[in-house]
């Protein structure tokens, strides 16, 4: 395990703008440092490097064990905190028992194609809100045909209120850049199957979302469309439009929903409007 310029401890680092690497058939395992505040990462792609990551097992990327609100990711592509980007094709990997997130693509300029992976959280935990796959801070990715499951948060700040409480998502786009695609994934057993949060017009289509306890798919603070996703329960809400900090409008087309308490929900904070349109 090596320490990078940001002070993170990475088991494998792929770095440099002229670097093109293939990493295949390995087991990358933690836990790493016991010190919260020093990020732990299984594989880190940085400084413009391009990597193909396929058919690996990435597991136990934690701080000695699963712990409180500390970052540790199985696979990390780019990082906004130190202004580095990466590019990756991530396919057919098994990622499990991570502290914060399984696969993360971070920072504007970072890109990834994420296909055919199985990403599994630790189930209900009072220690941290986990995330399966995260596309963040201007990064752009295609997330297709993955199985993402068992990210559930029971810590004090988590709960069913989509405006005032946090939730652990299977797949989350958070401030993602234009052109991201979330399609053909199987997402189950999370707090929310798919969260789209203040992101730039992603495509969300043909996903099978089941048994996510608070919501199947939730769209926050923006204008979005979703088509041909199948949402099934049990769970509280099938598809939700949430105006947390700004008005939200979601247009739905051919999204069958069954077995949930509320099929389609619109939730708005004070003075805001959340709207769902069926086309």
* Per-residue pLDDT reduced to its tens digit, 130-167: 999 999 999 999 999 999 999 999 999 999 999 999 99
| Spatial contact of 256 and 233, defined as CB atoms under 8 Å apart | no
| Spatial contact of 206 and 228, defined as CB atoms under 8 Å apart | yes
Mean pLDDT within 60-80: 88
Mean pLDDT within 64-70: 78
Q: How far is CA 146 from CA 134, 185, 187, in A?
A: 13, 5, 8
CA distance 188 to 151: 9
Count other Cβ atoms within 10 Å, centred on residue 200.
Answer: 14
CA distance 42 to 272: 41
Tell me: pLDDT of 35 over 80. Answer: no
* Per-residue pLDDT reduced to its tens digit, 184-230: 999 999 999 999 999 998 999 999 999 999 999 999 999 999 999 99
Mean pLDDT within 242-247: 97
Adjacent-strand bridge partners of 54: 24, 91
pLDDT value of residue 70: 80
pLDDT value of residue 190: 98
Tell me: pLDDT of 30 over 70. Answer: yes
* Per-residue pLDDT reduced to its tens digit, 84-102: 999 999 999 999 999 999 9
């Amino acid at each position: 395990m090596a320490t990078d310029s940001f002070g993170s401890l990475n088991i494998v680092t792929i770095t440099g703008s002229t670097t093109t690497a293939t990493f295949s058939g390995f087991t990358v395992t933690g836990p790493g440092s016991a010190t919260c505040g020093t990020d732990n990462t299984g594989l880190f792609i940085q400084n413009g490097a391009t990597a193909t990551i396929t058919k690996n097992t990435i597991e136990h990327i934690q701080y000695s064990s699963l712990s409180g609100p500390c970052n540790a990711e199985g696979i990390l592509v780019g990082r906004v905190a130190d202004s580095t980007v990466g590019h990756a094709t991530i396919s057919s990997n098994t990622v499990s028992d991570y502290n914060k997130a399984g696969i993360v693509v971070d920072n504007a300029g970072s890109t990834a194609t994420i296909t055919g992976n199985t990403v599994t959280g630790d189930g209900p935990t009072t220690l941290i809100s986990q995330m399966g796959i995260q596309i963040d801070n201007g990064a752009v990715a295609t997330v297709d045909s993955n199985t993402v499951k068992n990210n559930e948060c029971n810590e004090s700040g988590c709960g069913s209120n989509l405006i005032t409480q946090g939730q652990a998502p299977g797949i989350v786009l958070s401030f993602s850049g234009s052109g991201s695609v979330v399609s053909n994934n199987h997402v189950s057993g999370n707090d929310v199957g798919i969260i789209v949060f203040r992101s730039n017009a992603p495509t969300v289509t043909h996903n099978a979302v089941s048994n996510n306890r608070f919501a199947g798919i939730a769209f926050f603070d923006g204008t979005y469309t979703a088509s041909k996703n199948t949402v099934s329960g049990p769970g509280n809400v099938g598809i939700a439009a949430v105006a947390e900090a700004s008005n939200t409008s979601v247009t739905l087309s051919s999204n069958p929903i069954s077995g949930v308490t509320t099929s389609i929900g619109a939730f708005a904070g004070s003075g805001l409007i959340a709207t769902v349109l069926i086309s």
